A and B are shown apart, each in its own frame.
Chain A
């Protein structure tokens, strides 16, 4: 008996060790961003010459200098506004296309729906580094160079496939019986979608909103290709462009920008985590 108890304790210990290790792994970047954003420059850079220096703590009192530089000496707030604009437009376009597409693939396309869905998903895997050259051509033909409109046009090319795939999973999880019941209860297919299917797919649409927005937020290659004027940049482009000057990295301000941008996303993600997992596994496990 005591042997078995020992094994159980060991298993528990291993589990917790793994959990703690993973937590440290996940939290460390945030902690490092936080430290760097509020450290004085002396504290930040002295480690390069002084090996006695302890890098994981504030050796000097923290400072707001880097944050101040970010807000007052760079167009950070303009980038936030640009990102929000592009994000909102892309999210709207994505919803308008991906929701009906996901429903059609899940319900109406029969056996081909699955294969078509996989095909659409595959297009998401084509890397932007291959696509930006032909896109550049399209953008210049449309006269959209150096305008946010270029990004609004290009970003849906990767948000829509991914989100269509996501919505397909969510719509599959809505039992067919419910739709048939509603059709018998007196509704046309369109009315059924509006009154029964969409309300049940709200978690899916929330997932789509957050995913599409995050994809926009982190996109760099297209932004770099199509936008050249600092005031028209989005966060992911503006921050490195403005805060890496030659070979001088404004580490404190860079990390401040990253921290301020990523915190809301992290909070948003963690509050919807259950629904995300439900969305990503919707096809496999019946809710």
Chain B
């Protein structure tokens, strides 16, 4: 903590990241919505804040936007400290809300032009920029319509066009795809990713949908109870979860956790947990006997739910995701031999839930 005796030097310790938070907290009464978050987003990076509802991800984003005042901590955008007195309009950010927040009394054109009007952009430039943004999202023919005359997907694109039109330093996107139906969502995800690559604008994206997070993020910050539990590339977070929360939050179905002894939980992903015969003569396997209770046919996989018939029984069911290409019989009520490669096992401290190295 810097003392007050020294006036802030012109060369403040410049933040490493393009968007950075240090010890950022927000308390609502007794609730610690955000609890000491250190987040560092590099220039041009796409970072996803992922977590269950109520984990503080939206509050964190709203503080970066300037819509909530932090209880404690610092926020830097492009090297400038903004948490204290910089209002949202002066932070150089653009935000897309889950509801899209289109102005219902304005046409699509006026909606997109609204941020430019605030910046008092000259009329001809404004027209050109709006047209550029509209073309980017294929909205050319819809500019005269009002929001209520637009479909959900079109509204979402107007909101995005309004966000990009004034060339912000940072995009903040709060679950922008969650109001789209499933068919549109995959397409919109792809377009969003393309767009971000093309513009190269630093982006922070909030979602509770792990598929969106995995698909979009350069890095994912997994949040729970106001804290970032882990931050890393999608592969990193998925393959090497830092604790049991991350392990079970990511992945569908989630990672299986089995008690190994009183100090250790062992985890393995359902897709790594396959009938023994699949592995043939491979060395380094760990085998379990699984009593199958229920088999779900999901088209591409069969999910086998069951309990381990070992000395140590997990009280939670264990799930195996068996690709449809593996035709091994799976009947309800029967016991089968299943196996996991030793390198696919992850170990966690039974008390803290934190990752720990494999026991020798």
Contacts and interface: CB of A to CB of B under 8 A. Distances in A.
Nearest to B114: A185
Most buried by A among B105, B118, B119: B118
A184 B103 contact: no
Contacts of A177: 97, 99, 101
B130 to A, nearest CB: 13
A200 B101 contact: no
Classify the secondary structure of A's interface with B: helix
B101 A183 contact: no
Contacts of A183: 66-67, 87-89
B193 to A, nearest CB: 23
B67 A186 contact: no
Contacts of A182: 103, 114
A149 interface: no
Given A180-B67, A180-B88, A181-B95, A186 B101 contact: no
A215 to B, nearest CB: 29
Contact of B65 (A175, A184, A195): A184
Nearest to B115: A185
A199 interface: yes
A118 interface: no
Interface residues of A toward B: which range?
A: 10 to 19
Nearest to A181: B101
Nearest to B159: A181
A192 to B, nearest CB: 9
B104 interface: yes
Interface residues of B toward A: which range?
A: 20 to 34
A284 to B, nearest CB: 20
A196 interface: yes
A159 B276 CA distance: 81
A188 interface: yes
Interface string B70-85: 0000000000000000
B63 interface: no
B161 interface: no
B128 to A, nearest CB: 18
B94 interface: yes
Contacts of B166: 186
Contacts of B97: 177, 180-181
Given A178-B101, A200-B104, A188 B87 contact: yes
B162 interface: yes
Q: Which 7 A/B pairs are nearest by Cβ-Cβ distance?
A: A186-B118, A181-B101, A177-B101, A185-B115, A186-B89, A183-B88, A184-B88
Interface of A: 175, 177-178, 180-188, 191, 195-196, 199-200
Given A178-B103, A182-B103, 10 more contacts: A180-B97, A180-B101, A184-B65, A184-B89, A184-B95, A185-B89, A185-B94, A186-B166, A187-B89, A188-B89
19 contacts: A175-B101, A177-B97, A177-B99, A180-B65, A180-B101, A181-B95, A181-B101, A181-B103, A182-B114, A183-B66, A183-B87, A183-B89, A184-B88, A184-B94, A185-B162, A186-B118, A187-B89, A187-B118, A200-B105
